[in-house]
Structure formats: C-alpha cells, structure tokens
Structure 1
Amino acid sequence: MILFRNCFFLICLFQIWKCHSQEGNYKFNNFGNRSILLAGNVTGSVSDLGLTYYNPSFLANSDDLGFSLNAKAYQLTNIKLKNPSNKAQLSSSSFDNASTMAGGIFKLFNNRFAYSYLTKSNFNTNLNYTTNYLNDAIRNQFPDITKHTTTITLNSRIKDDWSGASWAYKINKQLNVGISTFVSVYSYKAHSGASHIFESNNENVSFYQNVVGFSQKSYGLFVKIGANYRFPKFHLGVNINVPYIEVLKDGSFNYSKLISGVSSDDDLYLSGDFKDVDSKRKEPLGVSLGIGVPIHKGKLHVNIDYVSSLNSYSRLKIPDIDLGQGTLTPIYFAEARKTVVNFGAGIEYTLSQNLNFYAGFSTDFNAFKESANIFDFSAKENKNIEIGEDFYHMSLGIDWKLKWLSIISGITYAGSSNTFLSPYAINVTPSVTINNTPETQFNYSRWQFVIGLDIPLLSKKTNQLLESL
C-alpha cells in the first residue's frame, strides 16, 4: 500500500506556530495607549487604561476618569518560508486590524473602578499552495511518472476576548493594592489538507488526500492581583497573574484519508468525526516586577516578568483512530511549557508642555517545550515537537495632549528568524522514503501602526452622577 506520510510536515508546523506564537510568547501583544509605546514595561509605572491588565493597583493613583479607546489601528505582518522545496518559496502577508482595548475609569462610593474589554489574541490565516515538481528521488521510485501535483490547504483561527472589571484600594499615601477579573471567551480552530496527484505515461492517475481538523473552546477567568509602593525616588510595582480558571470547555476532531487509483487492494477511504472531545486549557502563574524612575523631564520604566512552567497535559483527548495500518493509532495532542523570564525597558520624555515622547524594548521568549501535534500521524513514537520563536519588540511614539482629549500615535516592530529542515519528505512505503535536504529559512516580521484616544470629558456627566450616589 502506498502511504504518503509527513507530507509537508514543516508547513503544517509553520501553520501551528503562527497560531501559537500569541500563546507561547506572553508579550506578543500589549495593551493601553502609552503602555504599548513603552513595550509593556509598566508594572511599576502604568498610567493609562492598561493598568487593568498590567497592575490594577495603579487604579487608586489614577486621576484620568473617563473613557479610553486603545486602537492599534493596523498591523502589517509578513511571514516567509524560503526554500521549502527545491523550487518553491512560501510567503504570507497581511494588513489588517490589530488587537484592541477599550474601557473607562470611574468613581463610586469613594472608590475607583475600571471596566475594560480587550482582544488578547486574534489570529486568522488561510494558506493555499499548489506546486508541480519532479526530481531524481521521485523518478527512482516511480519510473513511469510524468507529473506530480501537490496541493496544501491550511486554515487556522485563534480568538481570545477578555471582558473585565477592576478595583483598587489606597491603604496609605505610599501603598495601594488592586485586583482585576477578566472573563475569557477562547476559541481555537485549525484545518489542514494535503493532496497528491501522480500521473504516469500510460495515463494512470493515482490520488492521495489527507484532511485533519479540530476545534477547542474554553470559557473561564483570569485574575490579576497588583500592588505598588511609592518610594522617595522611584515607584515599585508587582503584579501576580493567577493561573487560568477554566469554567466551561468543549472540543472536536475530524479526519479523512483517501487513496485511489493505486490498485484494488490498495485503494482506501477512512474518516472519523468526534464531537464532545474532552479538552483542557491551561495558562501558568506569572509574576511581574517593575519600577518607574523619574528623570529630568521624563521617566525610566524597567520591567522583569517571570512565568512558571506547565507540565505536559492533553489539550484534546482524541480517541485512537483507524489510519489503515491494521491497528488503531493513538493521537496525542499534548502541551508543555518551560519557565520564561523576560525583561525590558522604556523611556518617556517631555518634549513640550503638550507633547511627550515614548520608546521601549522588550524580550519575548518562547515558552513551548512540547506542543500539540495532530498532523504527524505516521510517527510511531508520536514525538513531541517544540515550536515557536524568541521575539524582540521595539516601539516608538508620541502623546499629543489637547484641551479635551489626548492623541497617542506611534509604531511597534516585532521580528524573528530561524532555520528548519526541509519539509518536503514523503514516505512512500515503510521501506522507501524520499527526503530532500535543503534547509528552510523562516522569517517573521510585524509592524503595528498605533493610534489611540483618551477622552476624559466623554464620561464627565456619568462620573458626576456616580459620585453623587
């Protein structure tokens, strides 16, 4: 029987990586107009709506009552795989809306509260790729072949929306504490399809198709507990991210395999559709420590972020499936993460009475130690695969203060690059394989164009009403 296994495995890995980069890299997205321009290094100095995310205790320090719209208006993302086969290059470019945040701060019963909504992750990609190629390795195994056409279809979607409320309490003039609770609505869907058509000089046609898809939904809570203390010459802040509390969950999995035109003995069709698959989502404990140091006409922001590890667990418990090998094959969808420590710094400087300058830099190291892998069905050992890359983030922008609003604008950059083995490998039979050896260069870049508004007067009447209660 002709079994085409591991076809374009790296391309599948590339697709998974694109989705998981927002989950395995904890600083991939930042929130809050000024916090974005400081690359998220604001645990000890946050001064905008981002306090609900970075350190809710600063809500007790905030005088910016009103509504804030964080609109990282557009982002340009470019992903390239160079030399995935002998003659091909894969690329994916997009220009679309970036993650957003909106909310406001108000006083009630002599306490400060905040509400906020943010899109923690939002990733949607569709990649279709068709190629025709022949080389000596393939001709050695198929002497009569005249044409080989391969089509790859990859679709994925991750969406994680957070809606939350924050409260802070001023213990004394130096010490404040606060808490934020976010409701998370999480959805992850992926679909991978690969087909091969082999044509021979006697007009025989053989066809192979393999399709895999899954979905995971999770509803739960993220809790952030913060504190800050004002020393004579600097401000110190700490924020604890409590591990994710899952409340509701659901999963599904489907697959199909078709082999046709080989022979009556080898033709095969298999399929399976599993609903209500047991699923689990985990996010680890995190602790951030930051300081804000006033300098001449500005402030220096320094941050260090610790995120603990996660032991291996099954995100989806998929039943053993029939892949035409005589016995049922176990499918592992496991994930594990290592401990990560990131660091960064930002600076703000007053250019004039109404104009402030911001710049920032931060590391963003990949946390995945073992990642969910449902595409490599042929691996007898079901090996765990580490995916994801280390990123470096840079930001630059200004805050222009007008009488009735502030306009924040700027630009951010994130980039990564690495080299992988060629994915163009086909196992035709258990004893015959076709391996191409060129390395594949992976490059990723993202530019974000930031535009945000703070409108304190928008909620003036509402705040006056609440304060009268």
Structure 2
Amino acid sequence: MNYSWTYNYYSQHKHFRGGSYGYHNFINIQTDPSKNVYQSNYQDDLGSKYKTSWSVGLGAAYSWQTLSLHVSAEWYNAVNKYEPINLVPLNEQSSGETFNKEITQQLRSIINAGIGVDYKLNDNLSFAGSFITDFSANDTNTETNISLSRWDIYHISAGSYFNIGSSEITLGVSYSFGSDVIKQIADIGNQDEETGSSINTSADVKFTRIKVLFGFIF
C-alpha cells in the first residue's frame, strides 16, 4: 500500500503597483431633474495587494492485482476580509460632494477531494476514471464585490490507455458541471419607478465543459 502527502504554503501578502478603478453611476429623473445623479470617476496607479490561502493536502493509493484506487484531499484555509485596492474618496459631479467606495475580498475555508480508479484488463489495455470536486471559496455570508463565481464545480473523467506495438496511446474525456442562482439587484426593465424597482430578481447560472484528451508516447 502506497501513501503520499503534500504540504503547500502560499504567501499571504502580495503587493503590486498600478491598480486602477473606474466607477460610473448616472440616474436621470425626468419629473425632477434637480435629483439627477452624475458620478464618473477613474483612479489609476493605486496600490494593490492580493492574499491567497495556505493549504494542506493528503493522498493515498492502494493497488490490487488488476485494480488501483487513488484518493486525495486538500484543505484550504480561510482568508479574512481585506481591501485588494485602497481607493481615495470619489467625486459626485452633480452635487460637488465626495463619497467612499470599498472593494473587498473574503474567502471561506474549503476542502476539495478526488478519487480515481485504474483497472488493468490485460497487458495492453487499461481503463481509468476519476471524480474531483472544485468547491468555491466565495463566502456568501459577507458582501464582497470582486468574487463573482460562487458555484461549485464537479469533474468526472474517464478514459483508457493501450499499447500498439512499442507505443502507448491515451484517450479520455472529462465532463465538468456546476450551477448557481444569482440575484439581480435592480430591475432595469421597470420604467415606471423613478429609482427602479426594489424587488430582487434572480437568474439561474449553469456551467458545463467537455474536454477531450489524447496522448501518444512512442
């Protein structure tokens, strides 16, 4: 029985220069133009930083005469709320006042795992299959505005590898899928309300991907 383990550590702080941010907000109220809002801002050369999680991964394998089983898991630590870009106060041209905006990021702790199987039919032909999770670290309990994707993705793979003469050929296919429900903050299509509808609508998001694998060793 074979065991393997890994320990991965990633830097928690990476600092950059040259970040930029644009914010444009326009509200036109036909019945009272004095309440119109005009906000257009662009900031460049901002200091920025990006924090990544550190993780610990473990794996194990067990082999029988014609069958091999592989399992692995990796734990990712949470990332506390922080500001990737530090903004200076923004200007509202319609009123002459300033206001503040905050860009935040926060990640929750997750565990991803995978399982794989190899089956040797004979000396020239083998089959393989696997299932892998790819859970999103987006923390839905906090309001962050740079983490867009919240859906968990699952990967199912299957294939075979066989010998032709002195060459080995690998054929396989991988199918990935995930889904989520996202909210639309404003009902843009409602023209009756001056400030837009306060009713949140939602949309179903589905992710699918198919990959084909071909390998050739000679």
Cα shift at 1:259: 5.5
Q: What is the CA–CA distance in structure 2 between the aligned matches of 1:272 and 1:436, rounded to whole Å?
A: 28
Which amino acid in 2 is paired with 1:304? A
More helix by share: 1
Within 5 Å, which residues of 2 pair with 1:31-42? Answer: none
Partner in structure 1 of residue 207 of structure 2: 444
Question: Does residue 1:373 correspond to 2:135, yes or no?
Answer: no
Structure 2: distance between partners of 1:453 and 1:280: 42
CA RMSD across the alignment = 3.3
Residue 105 of structure 2 is matched in structure 1 by 335
The answer for the alignment partner of 1:411 in structure 2 is 173
| Alignment partner, residue 111 of structure 1 | none
Residue in structure 1 matched with residue 197 of structure 2 by the alignment: 434
Deviation at 1:360, TM superposition (A): 0.5
Paired position in structure 1 for 2:9: 242
Preserved CA contact (<8 Å) 2:136 2:150 = yes
**Cα separation, partners in 2 of 1:354 and 1:249, compared to 1, 3 Å:** farther
Q: 1:259 to 1:306 in 2, by over 3 A?
A: closer
Using the aligned pairs only, state the percent identity: 23
Provide TM-score, normalisation by structure 1.
Answer: 0.40
Q: For 2:29 and 2:183, how far apart are their aligned partners in 1?
A: 31
Corresponding position: 1:364 with 2:147: no
The amino acid across from 1:373 in the alignment is N
- Give aligned pairs, total: 212
Structure 2 gap ranges (5+):
none
User: Hey, what's the Cα distance between the residues in 2 that align with 1:273 and 1:438?
Assistant: 30
Q: CA deviation at 1:401?
A: 3.5
3-state SS of 2:47 partner: coil
Q: CA deviation at 1:291?
A: 0.6
- Secondary structure at 1:416's aligned position in 2? strand
5 Å matches for 1:55-134? Answer: none
Helix, strand or coil for the counterpart of 1:305?
Answer: strand
Deviation per CA, 1:201-256, whole angstroms, max 9, x where unpaired? xxxxxxxxxxxxxxxxxxxxxxxxxxxxxxxxx11111122113737554111233
Determine which of 18, 38, 42 is the counterpart of 1:273: 42
CA–CA separation in structure 2 for the residues paired with 1:372 and 1:320:
19
Supply the distance in 2 between the matched residues of 1:295 and 1:335 (Cα, whole angstroms).
Answer: 46
Structure 1 residues 352 and 256 mapped into 2: Cα distance closer, same or farther (>3 Å)? same
Relative to 1, partners in 2 of residues 1:300 and 1:434: Cα closer, same or farther, differing over 3 Å? same
In structure 1, the gaps of 5 or more residues are 1-233, 375-384, 456-469
CA distance in 2, matches of 1:331, 1:314: 11
**Aligned-partner SS, 1:373:** coil
Question: How far is the alpha carbon of 1:326 from its aligned partner?
Answer: 5.6
Query: Secondary structure at the residue paired with 1:293?
Result: strand
Alignment of 1:381-400 (within 5 A): 387-400=149-162
TM-score normalized with structure 2 length: 0.79
Give the superposition deviation at 1:335: 0.9
Quote how far apart the aligned CAs of 1:306 are: 0.8
Q: Distance in 1 between matches of 2:91 and 2:126?
A: 63
Q: Which amino acid aligns with 1:255?
A: Y
Counterpart contact for 1:332–1:372, Cα < 8 Å: no
Counterpart among 91, 115, 131 of residue 322 in structure 1: 91
Counterpart residue identity of residue 241, structure 1: N
Are the equivalent residues in 2 in contact too, given 1:397–1:411 (CA < 8 A)?
yes
Contact kept, 8 Å, 2:17 with 2:46, in 1: the verdict is no
Matched, 1:256 2:24: yes
* Residue among 281, 294, 310 paired with 2:63: 294
Task: Identify the residue that residue 354 of structure 1 maps to in structure 2.
Answer: 124
